[in-house]
Amino acid sequence: MFPTLAGVLLAFSSSIIAATPSAPPAQEPAAIDAREQLRQQQRERALREQNTPQADERLPRPNMAQPDYPTNEQPCFTISKLILVGDSATRFQWALNAAADARGRFLGGQGIVLAINKVQNAILAKGYVTTRVMAQEQDLTKGVLTLTLQPGRIGDIRFDTPVFWRGRLWNAIPASKGDILNLRDIEQGLENFKRVPSVNADIKIIPGVREATSGLQVNWKAGRPVRLSLGLDDSGGKSTGQYLGSATLSVDTPFAQNDLFYANLGEDLFQHGPFGNRSHTLNYFLPLGYWAFSTNYSDYSYHQNIPNANESRACTENCVNAHTPITC
């Protein structure tokens, strides 16, 4: 799921024009320039989508449907206030809002359990699937229901079997040992693993060695990391080369960091004379948990034939893009 982007864009361009002293037509060269730049941007966008695909992982959440509070329970107590205590309870005070309708009610045993379950389910819905809410023995005659939070923390994070040297955990899963376990961190880890086309991965939550801990066990399999693809399309302009051929070399995890690299060479085909276009693109992508760093270099050049003029026009544009998008 990488869904929101923010970054810095650096662009450098230069144009070289060879022409006779006569003034060129006013509109046609500029229009061709604009069309060629748009086509190049579309080709680069298609390259990125093909070679750095987005992965969207959503693990199932529990069903939050709850019955109504029972009536006429005996014995029952008037509940005027709910309190959440325990380790890291300050981080979860918002969950008490799920049981706000318990305040002012006469609740017996079943009603109290229902209020606890509402708080528990609110926490589960946020992805904290191993964090528990419970009620210790207490005096309810004062109208205060005290709930105790037991956060579920991460124990070990490891591969289930020894993996090839290209497998890495540190920059894929945005959580570490001792953190409170959250499904969103696991989903992001799966997205970072599966964004690599030749990799298939799964993450299981397993019982931890210590109380209230769970381990994350990663199943990671990788296929052939290098791919070469050839392409042909007719999206070019007639004056600059309508039929465009391309070759793309893609390398998965080139530095063994769940990273991606591709290089693309494009050139017009079946073009005679000095007219036509050529392009080169290099792209590198590195995930860093919820962050990602991507750097892109591209250049393209084309020669265009200006109608009704005894001249040709050569335009070369070089672009370097560096950005650090944030996804969450």
Query: What is residue 43's three-state secondary structure?
Result: helix
Q: What is residue 6's predicted lDDT score, i.e. its pLDDT?
A: 37
Q: What is the structure's pLDDT at 8?
A: 34
- What is the domain partition of the chain in residue ranges? 9-18+26-55+225-323, 77-150, 153-222
* Structure token digits, residue 117: 């379950």
- pLDDT at site 321: 43
Q: For the chain of 328 residues, list the mean pLDDT of each consecutive stretch of 10.
A: 39 35 49 70 78 78 79 92 98 97 94 96 96 96 97 97 92 97 97 95 96 97 95 70 85 96 88 69 93 87 60 48 46
- According to the model, what pLDDT value does residue 114 have? 96
Predicted pLDDT of residue 117: 96
Could you please state the CATH topology (level 3) that the domain comprising 77-150 is classified under.
Answer: Ubiquitin-like (UB roll) (3.10.20)
State the pLDDT at residue 157: 98
For position 32, what pLDDT does the model report? 62
Pick the CATH number of 153-222 from 3.40.50.300, 3.40.50.1370, 3.65.10.10, 3.10.20.310: 3.10.20.310
> What local confidence, expressed as pLDDT, does residue 272 receive?
56
Write 313-318 long-range contacts (CB < 8 A, 24+): 313/17, 313/18, 313/19, 313/24, 313/29, 314/16, 314/17, 314/18, 315/15, 315/16, 315/17, 315/33, 315/36, 316/14, 316/15, 316/16, 317/13, 317/14, 317/15, 317/37, 317/40, 318/12, 318/13, 318/14
- Tell the residue number behind the tokens 């990488």, with chain if given: 2
pLDDT score, position 33: 66
